Amino acid sequence: MSANKIFTTVLSIIILLVTTLLVSCVGSIRKSGTDKVQLVNTKPLSFAGVTSGQYISDTKIMVKFNAATGGSGVYYYRVYLNGSTEPSVSIPSELLRENSDGELYLEIGDLRVNTAYHISMLAYDVDNDKLSDRTKGIIVSTAPNHLPVFEGVATAANMPGVAAMTQLKLQWIPAVSPDIIIGDPFSGEHVISGYYIYYATSLDELFTKLHSADVAEAAPIVFSDPVAAEYILGESTPLTPGATYYIAMRAKNSASPSKYELNEHYVVAKTFLNRPMEFSGIEAAVVPSNTDGFTKVDVSWGSCTACGEFRIYALNEMRAVDPDKDGAFLMATLESTTLSHRISGLIPHTTNYIYVVACRDAARCSEREDVMGNNIYRDATTTPPVSPFDGIQSITQPAGTVGLTTLTLSWLPADTASGVFNEYRLFRVKEDGEAVDNNPVLAGVQSQITIYSSSNPSGAYIDAATPLNVASTSIKVAGLPTDETSCFVLLPYSTSPAHPSGPRTLSSRVIRCGKPVYAAPDFNGVDTACTNQTFNSLSINWTRPSSGIFTHYEIFYKLKDAVYENGHDDFRYDDAIADDEYSVYHRIVVDAEVALPYEIRNLPAFSTAYEIGVSTYYDNGIGGIFRVNNSKVATDACITSNPELVHGGWDDIFAIGPKTSGLVLDSAQKVVVRESIDPVTKNYKEDIAGSNSGIIRLVWKDFGIPNSALRLSDFAAAGSVSYEVYASSVSATDSSSFVHIASVPTVYGTSKYELILGSDNSAAMVAFLGMTPGVKYWFKIIGRFDGVDLAFHATSTHPEVARVILPPDNMALMHRWIANQEMCAMLHKSVDEESNYRCEFNGLTSILDGGTHYYDIQNDMLIDRFENGCNFRKVNCIVGGVSAPCIGLGNPLTLGYSAVQGAIYYNRYNGYCSMQQNSPSGSNWKEINGLGAVVVEAAAEEIVSTRAYLPPLMRITQELGGYNLCKGTSISLTTNGEASSFNRRMLRKKEFIAAAAWRSDPWGAAATGPAQSLTGPRYIYGNHYDITTVEYTSNTTTSFCNNNNKGGNWPLDTFEDNDRYPGAADPADSIYILRTGSNGAYSSKDCQSRYGLQDMIGNAWDMTSDQVYCEYNSPNITCSANVTTPLDAVAQETLKNGDGNYLEFSATGLATSVTGTAEWQYASPINANYFSPALGLSLNCASGTCDIQPDDDNKLITAKSSGATYVTFPYNSDRLIISLNNIVPNTFVRYMYSGGKWDSGSGAGRFSSDIISRPNEGWAAAVRCAVDVTED
């Protein structure tokens, strides 16, 4: 391709690129309005077109024109050839230059030689997308012959040194000859012969020369070197200093005369006015090797000619410095005589581009001729090298035991003059340098050994006594395996200032290795004989080693007959050390300074032979164990003895006689209801697989070992350990009479043991063969180990033999020991197990013995399990001529019932029980209260029955009904084969409170302060109902206590059905009562005290034999137990303090007289502040204040609800209700009901009382009788 074509192509590309870039801008000029886009108002586009033209060469024509006006001002100029509608050239105005006349000009290339062209032009308004009007064109021809291809002068530059004032260096691309086609008629001389160089001090002058038709007149410099590419203008004829020159060049060929092309390209250059500076720029920028290297750089440079000062710049990029704009990067300004300087204040770990700029003087440092060195730099990164380091020089082992796991590493300090570091880091490696942990981050070196910590992968750590810092030349490394080689690498690290890529260190590493060596002790082993044998300890001895290293002794022992899993039955150290899941060995580790002989304690088996071995022991802390033994084993006299025991105490003694049915037709008939103990609640329950002879339940606490916290059950895993139960029906002292009845195995960690005895073996009980109701038995518990019974130690204080009376039918035992423990726990008093578990207590119900007050129930008691029932005849009543049961819905006389003398009738309507007196008609019916004391007592066995399923006997007075009925009945008890008769009596308030205790969780702690209280709530054992829920639940489907009319609203039924009396057909005020011993779906079968007494709470009030004397003096009521002729004198004594004063605080607090200041006082509502838990009564002082002695236990207080008629005792666990009925101004002797009745609702409870005027009948009260059984 010809040069012309190349030029044309290049020009077309430029035009295309510019056009492409501007395409998006073509169109109207727009501006944003508030609600629309509007066109910009512009002047009309005006363009006159081409004004002149001439050829430049045989392939180029240059046209000239004046710039377009109007429109947007953004134009493209389009050139059309020979009337074509497509432009040959389209070029933006910003790419065009003006000539001296202010005209624009452009070149049209790629034309044909000696050819005329019609040329016209249009202006294109880019932003408004509009062409100018059509213009006239001109005709211009290309050169008639071929001319050189040349683009003109390219640059004009200043010369160095003083020549810059008078010379300029011109440079260009050498001209080339045109492409000639063979036979071209226009061919001729076309070899390039040189150049014409034109220059002038103005543009006009330059163009005048260029347009001159006479080359001689234009007087260009003729430069005849056709291949040259530069020329020194002013070298022959110096230029004027400080002058601006316009320069152009044209190439000529070898024709004669020469032919030259006519390009008008020009450059502008200015000579220096002054001598230019001579400066080669910065020579070096060196970062210091020490810590200065983080912020400083040492800079040096050569001398400068004609310089006034130096300026040092630190740039963050590579570019020429502009002194006018780069003031922020100026680090120093120095005199021209200074050739080096340390700059500071740099940012660590940053690459800086350092320039030394020479300035002509302080005032002239911006013009090109006044600045040098601004484009010459040296880069410097402010990261000094890491200090050279020769690594660890030596490894030694410290003396003593510490040296078994420790090595001392030593080294020479790192070279801080030649590098930087701020910490040493120690690493552990293998001998060949391979990483212990294969940590890829550290390239073959494991993670750093942590200072003062062993929690790292290698287990090694730096000893805290020799911390590692930059001043260190040695450290101790601990936690190393003994007798194993350990290798290390120590490296200096530079971590601050932090490098972007992380901590820096050296690539070369020195590996040093060492080994802690173990020195074995001279140990001769254990002595073969044992001494000081006890039931669980033996003493052994040995001679201490005189040399070697160890920290402990390791003691192994095993039962002599124990066989290891591998079949070895003899003592072997290898087996002992193995300590696997099959091991029969026990291990003890003791300090090396342990006192000798050494006592092995807590051996697991009694009366057992052991084998014992001892070795020295050293643990290096990381799994390395070193032992020395000489295979000696202690076997001589290594046998433990049998221990003596300390009784743990009796936790519960429970006994109930058989439950029999009262619904039999013949009173002589006995129908026993079988029963068992519920495993969860521990209440009795009817069970066809149960006992028919009653139930005995014994609970005792685990026996202890004297002078030890050990219990017998702690040895359960060492052999056959059990409790053996023996029984006698003869006496407590005749040891030959005791026979073995049961074995109870011990369980490790179990603190209490239980044995339940009945007539038959079952899952719930053990058969006690021959057990007979009404017989006294004695039980003892013996601890046994591997078939040997263990004796009791002299310090054992709990009674070893317990008397248990298996009650007669329908009675239960309240054992003195258990009742005392229960009540003393409630009073928060410690019991005396050697004195029937009584406790010191100075309060109401206390007894005085030897000058000390005690709470003591005093005897075992047999108590009716159920409220006594009305023993109505089941047959032989005649009504309407038909035989029927003696039970009906009204008065028997009114209903026409007749029967034999002594027959008993029950009125289901009002609860009255009547007897038929002797009369011809057989209908002389009298209610029990109308019979008289003698008759009631004599006929008591016919009137009342303790059997179950009967309606409770109510509508009786305290004296006649309760006292005489109980007095008229008796029971028989057998001791060693001899039967004795015991009269029954009414329960007393003190006994009721004790007997009504629930089987529940332990009592909470006592609060402190002048007025104490007991915390709660308490829960019934097994089911975790709180006590109040059991006492006054509103759920009629739950078998709890009947105190919410649960017995009513039933369809009428026969007396054999269900548990209730009477039925829904009865009047609304019928008595809602459950049968005695009820057991149906809606019964009170779970309303049992811990002694097996049913319906102590709810159903019917329980009548007691206590009496008080009350009087009303508005607004207060005062009561005293000082009744002149009490019904039960013994009961009256229970209402005293141990000092003999009735219902009061100590004698210094209240008088004993009824008159004046009475002891027991209430207002309405009750305002009592104190409470007697033992008696179930609230107390207060008549005067409102009491001088309470510190040892007076009547000051137990409960939380009282303001304005209520009850106080809570204890919190959320039980209720105290005091009901004062029929109090009138006259004085009355009154008696007490306890427990509440079926309509009491939330008023029922163990501590609820009703004070009834005597001799009123108890229409809602029943009676149960009791028997005191004194000690044998």
Q: Which pLDDT value is given to residue 1116? A: 58
| Average of per-residue pLDDT across 97-121 | 89
Q: Which pLDDT value is given to residue 1146? A: 45
CA distance 66 to 102: 8
CA distance 862 to 881: 44
For β-strands 486-493 and 552-559, DSSP reports them as: unpaired
Res 1163 pLDDT > 70? no
Paired with 428 in beta bridges are: 488
Q: Which pLDDT value is given to residue 216? A: 77
Q: What is the DSSP code string of 292-323?
A: GGGT-EEEEE---BT--EEEEEEESSSS---T
Task: Identify whether 584 is part of a domain.
Answer: yes
Cα-to-chain-centroid distance, residue 13:
75
pLDDT bin (cut points 50, 70, 90) of residue 1017 is low
- Asked if omega into 807 is within 30° of 0 (cis), the reply is no
Do 432 and 371 lie in one domain? The reply is no
**Residue scoring higher pLDDT (1121 or 1095):** 1095
Q: Put the strands of the sheet holding 50-55 in their side by side order.
A: 50-55, 61-65, 104-108, 97-98
Alpha helices per DSSP H over 801-858: 816-826
Alpha helices per DSSP H over 546-690: 573-578
**Residue scoring higher pLDDT (507 or 862):** 862
Longest dimension (CA), the chain: 190
Query: Which of 35-49, 982-996, 1243-1257 ranks highest by mean pLDDT?
Result: 982-996
Q: Which pLDDT value is given to residue 309? A: 93
Q: Which of 270, 300, 316 is the last residue of a domain?
A: 270
Do 397 and 490 lie in one domain? The reply is yes
Res 1196 pLDDT > 80? no
Q: Which pLDDT value is given to residue 405? A: 84
Res 237 pLDDT > 80? yes
Query: Which of 45-49, 86-90, 349-353, 1135-1139 ranks highest by mean pLDDT?
Result: 349-353
**Residue scoring higher pLDDT (1074 or 1059):** 1074
Res 485 pLDDT > 80? yes
pLDDT bin (cut points 50, 70, 90) of residue 200 is very high
CB contact at 8 A, 1157 and 1182: yes
Res 598 pLDDT > 90? yes
Do 690 and 767 lie in one domain? The reply is yes
Q: Which pLDDT value is given to residue 38? A: 42
Task: Identify whether 1152 is part of a domain.
Answer: no
| Contacts made by residues 1004-1010, CB under 8 angstroms, sequence distance 24+ | 1004/1210, 1005/828, 1006/828, 1010/1195
CA distance 207 to 205: 6
**Rounded to whole angstroms, what are the CA distances from 174 to 57, 153, 187, 227, 230?**
16, 9, 21, 6, 9
Res 1157 pLDDT > 50? no
Do 798 and 654 lie in one domain? The reply is yes
Token pair of 539, please? 């003493």
pLDDT > 70 in the chain, percent: 82
Q: Which of 770, 785, 809 is the last residue of a domain?
A: 809
Residue 262, domain CATH: 2.60.40.10
**Residue scoring higher pLDDT (1043 or 1016):** 1043
| Average of per-residue pLDDT across 299-320 | 93
Res 1156 pLDDT > 70? no
**Domain total for the chain?**
7
Task: Identify whether 42 is part of a domain.
Answer: yes
Point out the least confidently predicted range of 298-307, 735-744, 1016-1025. Answer: 1016-1025
Res 278 pLDDT > 50? yes
CB atoms within 10 A of CB 1057: 12
| Average of per-residue pLDDT across 761-789 | 92
Q: Which pLDDT value is given to residue 404? A: 82
- Asked if omega into 1017 is within 30° of 0 (cis), the reply is yes
CB atoms within 10 A of CB 969: 21
Paired with 153 in beta bridges are: 172
Do 738 and 779 lie in one domain? The reply is yes
CB contact at 8 A, 1039 and 1027: no
Task: Identify whether 773 is part of a domain.
Answer: yes
Do 577 and 617 lie in one domain? The reply is yes
Task: Identify whether 1027 is part of a domain.
Answer: no
| Average of per-residue pLDDT across 67-83 | 92
pLDDT bin (cut points 50, 70, 90) of residue 916 is very high
Tally of CA atoms within 13 A in the half-sphere of 324 that contains its CB: 8
CB contact at 8 A, 358 and 333: no
Cα-to-chain-centroid distance, residue 1269:
60
Residue 148's nearest CA partner among 263, 255, 57 is 57
pLDDT bin (cut points 50, 70, 90) of residue 1185 is low
pLDDT bin (cut points 50, 70, 90) of residue 434 is confident
| Average of per-residue pLDDT across 1024-1035 | 71
CB contact at 8 A, 411 and 477: no
CA distance 813 to 1266: 10
Res 606 pLDDT > 90? no
Res 1230 pLDDT > 50? yes
CA distance 420 to 658: 100
Do 512 and 542 lie in one domain? The reply is no
13-28 pLDDT, tens digit each? 333 333 333 333 322 3
Q: Which pLDDT value is given to residue 1057? A: 54
Structural domain of 212:
153-180+187-270
CA distance 1197 to 289: 88
| Average of per-residue pLDDT across 451-471 | 69
| Average of per-residue pLDDT across 1094-1120 | 79
Task: Identify whether 864 is part of a domain.
Answer: no
CB atoms within 10 A of CB 664: 14
Which H/E stretch holds residue 878? strand 877-879
Do 356 and 504 lie in one domain? The reply is no
SS3 at position 146: coil
Point out the least confidently predicted range of 27-36, 68-77, 658-667, 683-692. Answer: 27-36
Q: Which pLDDT value is given to residue 400? A: 79
CA distance 45 to 848: 137
Point out the least confidently predicted range of 207-221, 332-346, 1230-1244. Answer: 1230-1244
Token pair of 91, please? 């070029």
CA distance 80 to 66: 17
Q: Which of 940, 958, 986 is the last residue of a domain?
A: 986
**Residue scoring higher pLDDT (580 or 440):** 580
Do 757 and 774 lie in one domain? The reply is yes
pLDDT bin (cut points 50, 70, 90) of residue 1024 is low
Query: Which of 91-105, 520-534, 812-826, 1097-1111 ranks highest by mean pLDDT?
Result: 812-826
Res 50 pLDDT > 90? yes
CA distance 28 to 40: 7
Res 421 pLDDT > 80? yes
Do 782 and 656 lie in one domain? The reply is yes
Which H/E stretch holds residue 696? strand 695-701
**Residue scoring higher pLDDT (1244 or 1035):** 1244
Q: Which residues contact 582 (CB under 8 A, 6 or more apart)?
A: 564, 565, 566
Q: What is the mean pLDDT of the chain?
A: 83
Q: Which pLDDT value is given to residue 7? A: 37
CB atoms within 10 A of CB 1163: 12
| Average of per-residue pLDDT across 924-952 | 91
Res 1120 pLDDT > 80? no
For β-strands 1060-1061 and 1073-1074, DSSP reports them as: antiparallel
pTM value is: 0.60
Task: Identify whether 694 is part of a domain.
Answer: yes
Q: Which pLDDT value is given to residue 39? A: 44
Burial class (CB in 10 A: 0-12, 13-18, 19+), 827: buried
70 sits in the region (left: phi over 0; alpha: psi -120 to 50; else beta) called: left
Cα-to-chain-centroid distance, residue 91:
78
Q: Which pLDDT value is given to residue 857? A: 96
SS3 at position 394: strand
Q: Which pLDDT value is given to residue 139? A: 94
Task: Identify whether 459 is part of a domain.
Answer: yes
Point out the least confidently predicted range of 621-625, 757-761, 924-928, 1082-1086. Answer: 621-625
Do 89 and 72 lie in one domain? The reply is yes
Res 1183 pLDDT > 90? no
Res 377 pLDDT > 80? yes
Res 816 pLDDT > 50? yes
Do 597 and 671 lie in one domain? The reply is no
Res 6 pLDDT > 50? no
Res 453 pLDDT > 60? no
**Total count of residues recorded for the chain:** 1272
CA distance 76 to 83: 19
Token pair of 900, please? 């034999």
Point out the least confidently predicted range of 32-41, 56-65, 1108-1117. Answer: 32-41
| Average of per-residue pLDDT across 919-926 | 83
Which H/E stretch holds residue 946? none
The gap between the terminal CA atoms of the chain, to the nearest Å, is: 147
Q: Which pLDDT value is given to residue 436? A: 66
Q: Which pLDDT value is given to residue 1036? A: 54
Residue 871's nearest CA partner among 887, 888, 883 is 887
Burial class (CB in 10 A: 0-12, 13-18, 19+), 259: buried
Residue 560, domain CATH: 2.60.40
CA distance 597 to 543: 10
Q: Which pLDDT value is given to residue 388? A: 96
865-877 pLDDT, tens digit each? 999 999 999 888 9
Cα-to-chain-centroid distance, residue 965:
67
Q: Which pLDDT value is given to residue 539? A: 94
Q: Which pLDDT value is given to residue 874? A: 87
